[in-house]
Structure 1
Amino acid sequence: MNPSVRSAPEPTVIVPDWPAPANVRALVTTRAGGISVAPYCSFNLATHVGDAAEAVAENRTRLRRILPAEPRWLEQVHGVTVADADWPAVVPQADAAVAREVDVVCAVLTADCLPVLFCDDTGSVVGAAHAGWRGLAAGVLEATVARMGVSPASLLAWLGPAIGPAAFEIGGEVREAFLRIDPGADIAFVSAAAPGKWMADLFVLARRRLMRAGVARVYGGGLCTYADATSFYSYRRDGVTGRFASLVWRDAAS
């Protein structure tokens, strides 16, 4: 490793603003602080997007330095499977994870899809979900709430950066997938300029699904990946691009 890599700054991260218990820690990475080159510059954490393997490995090493343990990465498939992050060292095919053990880091990777972090009032369980429109419509948030094994009323959720309603144009079939389950979700859609197209608000859709699942305390939302090219990757904006991580864990020191 050359001297410029060793002396590079730590990753720039966002700390969620939510009233989580003191023993619950969470953060979201940004594009800054890594060694990946265009179009992945600079702190890409995904191994499946075409970035150089050595760059991703170094970026993950840098992330590990600010965490209590290696994140429990997932093979995300836009589904509703929720993994138990307290498992041995394997990579499950899942789009959410929960953990009850101390220093087990739940993580999801996104670049327009909505990351949602969870914890309960007592800090006994945490979770992270990858909620693209397919997973959101299919019930990945409800599945995560159920897998946490506590009363939904005791849960807090935080909505991370995702593509915002001014940029997320979808077809009528996507809108119908949500309206079949929740007709009131119509408020999350606005007619687009193109015939048959709609602008969708993932944050509103997620809040509605969480409320229906019994999670009333929902924070965050509003950080648009598409609009902020300096801070976030966006698949819709750039096509070939990296992924940033949203992470949550129980802290033994608090």
Structure 2
Amino acid sequence: MLEIITSGAIPQRHGFFTRKGGASSGIFAGLNCGFGSTDQAEIVAINRARVAEAMGVGADGLLSVHQVHSAEVVTVTAPPGGSVERPRADAMVTRLPGVALSVLTADCQPVLLSDPEGGVIGAAHAGWRGAMTGVLEATVDAMEAIGASRTRIRAVIGPTISQAAYEVTEDFLQNFLTEDPENGRFFANGQNGRYQFDLPAYGLHRLRGAGIGHAEWVRHCTYGDPDRFFSYRRTTHAGEADYGRLIASIRL
């Protein structure tokens, strides 16, 4: 059985899928939806087909991008035809019914957005780099360009790495302080001269600064719950060769 985390803030069909209910095995055990992993491609396709079915679309209707930690946003205006190469971007928006926008994560923030009255939705992949360079604001701008009103937009951050699990260096901290001295609020002192970064709080700050109507985090940490979530950082600490990718999706 698939496990799907949802939010009452978004009325459209949507979900942050956990790793439960998939066909993958070994270090990818569960619902690994990342073709970029070294998992068997045919097994990943089975997992993605299960997600598509849960979202009420065909396998071709589960849309994704080639994520590159950028602020690039794709506006989907027509159903994809045949085998189309995925654009290099980190967010999608649409007002097109019958397709499901999706993003993959394994500690980064999956963000689903909706303007229910305007009939516009969005999905964004926002790690620290993408969030800092403006992918969330760019997604809101792209939604507004096709008819959304930013004051009506609701955004939900799905399972992501929490502050307690996100240890960073002095250089990382300085990078954020250079961008904005007020960013110090998202860091706490850690051990051995390191710091703990609050990625979801930073994401909420960027979303609210964009002037949207509502923003929330589902408050699930990917690092701390290995039975439910894949985690790049946990895999690195365990010395494993690769990691699965979680999927989040939304449709009109």
Q: Secondary structure at the match of 1:94?
A: coil
Aligned partner of 1:162 in structure 2 is 160
Aligned counterpart in structure 1 of residue 143 of structure 2, from 135, 139, 148: 148
Provide the C-alpha distance between the structure 2 equivalents of 1:14 and 1:20, rounded to a whole number of angstroms.
Answer: 12
User: Once superposed, what is the RMSD of the aligned Cα atoms?
Assistant: 1.5
Aligned partner of 2:70 in structure 1 is 79
Q: Secondary structure at the match of 1:34?
A: coil
Aligned partner of 1:119 in structure 2 is 114
Q: How many residues get paired?
A: 237
Aligned counterpart in structure 1 of residue 197 of structure 2, from 164, 186, 200: 200
Provide the C-alpha distance between the structure 2 equivalents of 1:176 and 1:121, rounded to a whole number of angstroms.
Answer: 39
Gapped regions of structure 2 (runs ≥ 5): 237-241
Q: TM-score, length-normalised on structure 1? A: 0.88
Q: Secondary structure at the match of 1:116?
A: strand
Please report how far the alpha carbon of residue 167 of structure 1 lies from its aligned counterpart in structure 2 after TM superposition: 0.5
Identity, % of aligned pairs? 38
Aligned partner of 1:182 in structure 2 is 180
Deviations 1:92-131 (A, max 9, x none): 1110000101122110000000111101141510001000
**Which moved further from structure 2: 234-243 or 169-178?**
169-178
**What amino acid does structure 2 have at the position aligned with 1:19?**
A
Aligned partner of 1:3 in structure 2 is none
Aligned partner of 1:47 in structure 2 is 35
Please report how far the alpha carbon of residue 28 of structure 1 lies from its aligned counterpart in structure 2 after TM superposition: 1.2
2:55/2:251 contact within 8 Å kept: no
Aligned counterpart in structure 2 of residue 241 of structure 1, from 237, 240, 243: 243
Moved runs in structure 1, 4+ residues, more than 4 A? none
Q: Secondary structure at the match of 1:166?
A: helix
Deviations 1:4-32 (A, max 9, x none): xxxxxx422212x23334xx111111111
1:118/1:155 contact within 8 Å kept: yes
Please report how far the alpha carbon of residue 132 of structure 1 lies from its aligned counterpart in structure 2 after TM superposition: 0.6
Provide the C-alpha distance between the structure 1 equivalents of 2:47 and 2:22, rounded to a whole number of angstroms.
Answer: 5
Q: TM-score, length-normalised on structure 2? A: 0.89
Provide the C-alpha distance between the structure 2 equivalents of 1:41 and 1:34, rounded to a whole number of angstroms.
Answer: 7
Q: Secondary structure at the match of 1:143?
A: helix
Aligned partner of 1:20 in structure 2 is 10
Aligned partner of 2:239 in structure 1 is none
- Name the structure with the higher helix share: 2
